[in-house]
Amino acid sequence: MDLVKPIPRPSPTTRPFWDGLNERKVQIQRCDGCDSWVFYPRTRCPSCLSDLLIWREVSGQGVLYTYTLARQPTAPHFADETPQQLAVVELDEGVRMTSTLVNVEPSDIVIGMRLQPYFDQVTDAVTLLRYQPG
Partner 1 sequence: MGLRGHAAIVGFAEFKHERKYSGPRLFTVEQWSELTAMALDDAGLQLADVNGIACTDIRESGMFTPATIVEYLGQPVNFAERIDLGGASSVGMVWRAAAAIELGIADVVVCATPALPIPSNPEPRAIDPRRFFQSSSNEWGSPQAEFEIPYGNLAQNCGYAMIAQRYGAEFGYNEEAMAKLVVDQRQNGALNPLAAFYGKPTTAKEVLASKMIADPLRMLEIVMPVAGGGAVVVASREVAERCRHRPVRITGFGEHLTIKTPTYAKDMCVTPVGPASRQAFTMAGLEPGDIDAAEIYDCYTITVLMTLEDAGFCAKGEGQRFIMDSGMTHDGNFPLNTHGGQLGMGQAGAAGGMTQVVEAARQIMGRAEVRQVSACDNVYVSGTGGIMSEQAALILQGG
Residues that bind partner 1 (CB under 8 A): 5-11, 14, 40, 65-75, 77-78, 81, 84, 86, 88, 96-100, 111-112, 128, 130
Separation of alpha carbons 113 and 104, rounded Å: 11
* Cα three-residue angle 38-56-109, rounded to 5 degrees: 65
Pairing of strands 53-58, 127-133: unpaired
The one of partner 1, Zn ion, none whose footprint includes residue 107, by CB under 5 to 8 A per kind, is none
Does residue 7 touch Zn ion according to CB under 5 A? no
By C-beta, is 30 or 40 nearer to partner 1?
40
* Residues numbered 99-128 forming contacts with Zn ion, rule: CB under 5 A: none
By C-beta, is 59 or 98 nearer to partner 1?
98
The one of Zn ion, partner 1, none whose footprint includes residue 45, by CB under 5 to 8 A per kind, is Zn ion
* Ramachandran category for residue 109: left, alpha or beta (phi over 0 → left; psi -120 to 50 → alpha): beta
Provide the 10 A C-beta neighbour count for residue 86.
17
Stretch that binds Zn ion, among 10-18, 38-46, 80-88, 115-123 (CB under 5 A): 38-46
Task: Phi first, then psi: give them for residue 118, nearest 5 degrees.
Answer: -130, 110
With CB under 5 A as the contact rule, the residue among 14, 50, 61, 116 that binds Zn ion is 50
By C-beta, is 48 or 69 nearer to partner 1?
69
How many Å is the Cα radius of gyration of the chain? 16
